[in-house]
Structure 1
Amino acid sequence: MPDAERDRPGTADWRVRSPGPAPAVAGYADRVSVTPGEECGLYVSTTASSFHVSAFRVGWYGGAGARLVWASERIPGRTQPGPRLLPGTRTVRADWQRTLTLGTEDWPEGAYLLRLEADNGHQRYVPLIVRSVRGAGRTVLMHAPATWQAYNRWGGYSLYGGQSGAYATRSLAVSFDRPYDVDGAEKFLVYERAAVVLAERLGIPLAYTTGPDVHRDPAVLSGAAAVASLGHDEYWTPEQRWHVTEARDAGTNVVFLGANTCFRRVRLEQGDARPERTVVCYKTDVRADPCYTSRPALATTDFRQAPSPDPESSLTGVLYEGYPTDAPYVVQAADHWLYEGTGVRPGDGFDHLVGVEYDRVTPGAPVPEPLEITAHSPLVCDGRRSHSDSAYYTVRSGAGVFATGTMRWVEALLAGTPDGGHDHGMDARTGAFVTRTTENLLRAFALGPAAQHRPAPRPNIDEVYRAGG
């Protein structure tokens, strides 16, 4: 992102003020991302007589948080049909008629919120990434629409529950051809937006993509300085994982700003009209997955589970362990370069920063070495004592990899600020610590292979777990 875009005047009025009841206004795009200038279809249903669309690019913009890039004229409203349920996999689709075609000429690369504004006073978002074709020399922000969709309950079904909320009647596949629930962009707003704003404020060279795009075409990772997985990035295809691993092994640094990352193995399959519009994940019903016997490496369950176990820790350095928890983040290696300027000492804690899901370095699980645990945080989860770990390792290519080990990291960037709507009790001190640490991380990783310009990890797994359990 050029400085000219970062320094443009922002728009204060970009938020959804009143989502209203579900039928009031909702919509979806027929692509999770476009390249600049590429068209996409927008599908809208509303009980209002008319609506209009505003396209906001998320970024720093002097603290405004977004910029209005485009706005439509008034568009006649219509109520589209209700959800359609595909019985075999309990997949919900909207299958609406296209309302309008968006051209993105002159839209800079970045993360966008399309705000649908109905004349009944209600609003909802449709998220869209205007993705980068090249990422060489840049830090690639990798958004997670497959995870957004996994949790989406629009139409009564997600990968977690059916209409009654029961796990047994959950979807086995979910479709992008439907709106997102709540305000239309909840997962992006909670787990990704603050990281985008911070990265743009730093002025480092940035590129933008999504997990499904990296799955299909890894070219954006070629020569990238770093790739950043954001706060909740649970659902990956094997292809996405291979491509990120290959980039690491070619010298691209990797950042995991959350927890529970790369935990579920999914497939992307054909939608009604476009490829890769369906996210498939059978989870504990994996034996019913058509790929279970014929193509076991594509069978959709946790990466660590049969029929093709491959724990995520071989990439992330940490292993997802549990939910829910709420615990202080406890610094282990206070003199690590990550924590420069934070003023921390060994054993310093930051209340509520570990949660609601967490990862740890698990002795016995595959991890790249040398690996250093930089934070080791005692916790209790479901009555059992354990730890969350932040971890840093390097590989032969010189690439560095850092994982925070907590899902609240990106949320904490806003802690103690007026914008901190999901701060879980985290205070301004925690916000300042996480912000400075993230700045150190992104600035260092933007310089290229971390092993070439930052101290090597000091292996301490045995020491930490012998002393602390």
Structure 2
Amino acid sequence: MGPEQIRRWESGALAHAVTDPFGQGPVPWLRGGETYFGDTGQVVAWYADQERTGTGTRTGTRTGAGTGTGGGPRAADDVRRQIKGFTATGAAAPGEAIDFHITVDPPQEFSVDVYRIGHYGGDGAAKITTSPRLSGIVQPPPLTADRTVSCHHWWLSWRLQIPSYWNIGAYVAVLTTADGYRSHVPFTVRDNHPADLLLLLPDVTWQAYNLYPEDGRTGASLYHAWDEEGRLLGEADAATTVSFDRPFAGAGLPLHVGHAYDFIRFAERYGYDVAYADARDLHSGRVDPARYRGLVFPGHDEYWSSAMRRTTELAREQGTSLVFLSANTMYWQVELAPSPSGAPDRLLTCRKRKGPGRPALWREIDRAEQQLLGIQYAGRVPEPHPMIVRNAGHWLWEATGAHEGDEIEDLVAGEADRYFPRTALPEHDERVLLAHSPYADVDGVRRHQETSLYRTPSGAWVFASGTFAWSPALDRPGHVDPRVQRATANLLDRICKRD
């Protein structure tokens, strides 16, 4: 993906971020039922949104919070760093611990509320526990070396021992200072028990986009950095290596994290048997695909190591189905390395087109992503376009009400994939393209998107939506489409043998 449009945060700092193709950050739909009374007596939500988005209309639930000085929580920023944090471990299992490293400026007490993402009757999240009041300190400034920003030298602030009875899943720790500043830290609780589906959260890609700190001086991602005058630079001057040992920029949640949460709410609402892991679990060998009927990649998953790809290809060959619900998947090849303290898989390197060494694009080393996905990245979609249904008689479209040539409004958005005729296809017994959707690229050139499904000789199904907008259509307010929900259920039911 090329450089994105940028914008200035409302904090007033020289701080920018890549925009979400849906025009708002992920926080507004993390709408847990838990609320708080602010110092004005107004009911406020548990999250703090840097966009100052107010969404609440019903007392006690789904009430938005601004970032002003009124009664609501205020979002911490990367300039003053009122409260920011990260976890020093990847996904953890019940019985293990998650270590939080947190800076608080000015020093004061803070607390951590832990939420689990899920359907929860439409609330989207539920509060699981709250820390005791903790003493906050100002941690040392981030260390920088060749654009790499790391906070691995921060002191331990809080250790969360995960009880054996906790449900596995995607969690968000909400950090709140005594004077009302708030930030977020995502983490995953996993186990090794068999399940129908394994949801793989794209933490490697999340870190590639992380511009922390968005301070106009030191922050860097694989896309952006700043020069000495505070001007935002593009990919040519961005970081080559980024660290997992740092907070996420802005509100503390990754770009596109909402895509994964959209699928989680949908899957839990309809009772699918889902296990959880991070992409780094796939890389490290902690994922045994034989335990699952299908692996689900719910969000933007652009950066893959050789080990991630090898394990996924092995899963397909052994009969485990693959579900890719975004676009521009497995585009860049990356390496993961230990942190300076020796913790494994804490540094992410992607050389892109800079310097000597092997090419970084999978398709440049004769391992095009189409050989796994059935389609591959074609380009950005500057404005949402309708998805045009093809092969409407296929079982995936059954009971959706979709007919040949029907338009599903705005379902082609963000980025798009298509079939490349001159690129090798994976070995298959069946193959079908389920959408063929024209759109105009950033230069006004007419292009098209496609959605793919094929079946391998092992019996595995491999589905690729070919658009960013598929997961949001499952459970995101303002984007839900019943046809996409039904089509996804048809796919998952067949994989899970529920039909």
Taking structure 1 as the reference length, the TM-score comes to 0.85
Distance 1:266 1:73 in 2: 39
Answer yes or no: is 1:159 the counterpart of 2:227. Answer: no
Structure 2 match to 1:145: 203
Indicate if the aligned counterparts of 1:109 and 1:207 stay in contact, CA closer than 8 A.
yes
Distance 1:302 1:59 in 2: 35
Distance 2:191 2:371 in 1: 27
Indicate if the aligned counterparts of 2:100 and 2:156 stay in contact, CA closer than 8 A.
yes
Q: Of the candidates 351, 361, 367, which is equivalent to residue 310 of structure 1?
A: 367
CA shift, 1:339, in A, is: 1.6
Mapping of residues 132-211 of structure 1, within 5 Å: 132-134=191-193, 136-155=194-213, 156-163=219-226, 164-187=232-255, 189-211=257-279
Indicate if the aligned counterparts of 1:43 and 1:97 stay in contact, CA closer than 8 A.
yes
Q: Of the candidates 316, 319, 333, which is equivalent to residue 265 of structure 1?
A: 333
CA shift, 1:398, in A, is: 0.4
For residues 66 and 318 of structure 1, do their structure 2 counterparts lie closer, same or farther at Cα, with a shift above 3 Å needed? same
Q: Of the candidates 25, 30, 37, which is equivalent to residue 83 of structure 2?
A: 25
Distance 1:236 1:439 in 2: 27
Distance 2:474 2:251 in 1: 21
1:399-431 residue CA offsets vs partner (Å, 9 max, x unmatched): 00111010111122245x3xx4xx5xxxx5xx2
How many residues align? The count is 414
Structure 1 match to 2:404: 346
Indicate if the aligned counterparts of 1:231 and 1:408 stay in contact, CA closer than 8 A.
no
SS, match of residue 291 in structure 2: coil
Structure 2 match to 1:398: 459
Structure 2 match to 1:461: none
Q: Of the candidates 424, 428, 438, which is equivalent to residue 488 of structure 2?
A: 438
Structure 2 match to 1:128: 187
Q: Of the candidates 338, 357, 360, which is equivalent to residue 415 of structure 2?
A: 357
CA shift, 1:137, in A, is: 4.2
Structure 2 match to 1:460: none
Mapping of residues 3-402 of structure 1, within 5 Å: 11-13=33-35, 14-16=46-48, 17=65, 18-22=74-78, 23-48=81-106, 49-87=108-146, 90-94=147-151, 95-105=153-163, 106-134=165-193, 136-155=194-213, 156-163=219-226, 164-187=232-255, 189-273=257-341, 274-285=343-354, 287-288=355-356, 292=357, 299=358, 301-305=360-364, 308-325=365-382, 326-368=384-426, 369=428, 370-382=430-442, 383-402=444-463
Indicate if the aligned counterparts of 2:109 and 2:133 stay in contact, CA closer than 8 A.
yes
CA shift, 1:83, in A, is: 2.0
Structure 2: runs of 5+ lacking an equivalent: 1-31, 36-45, 49-64, 66-73, 214-218, 227-231
For residues 45 and 276 of structure 1, do their structure 2 counterparts lie closer, same or farther at Cα, with a shift above 3 Å needed? same
Structure 2 match to 1:458: none
Distance 2:376 2:487 in 1: 22
Distance 2:192 2:181 in 1: 35
Structure 1: runs of 5+ lacking an equivalent: 1-9, 293-298, 454-469
SS, match of residue 114 in structure 1: strand
Question: Which has a greater percent of helix?
Answer: 1
Counterpart of 2:451, as a letter, is: S
Counterpart of 1:281, as a letter, is: C
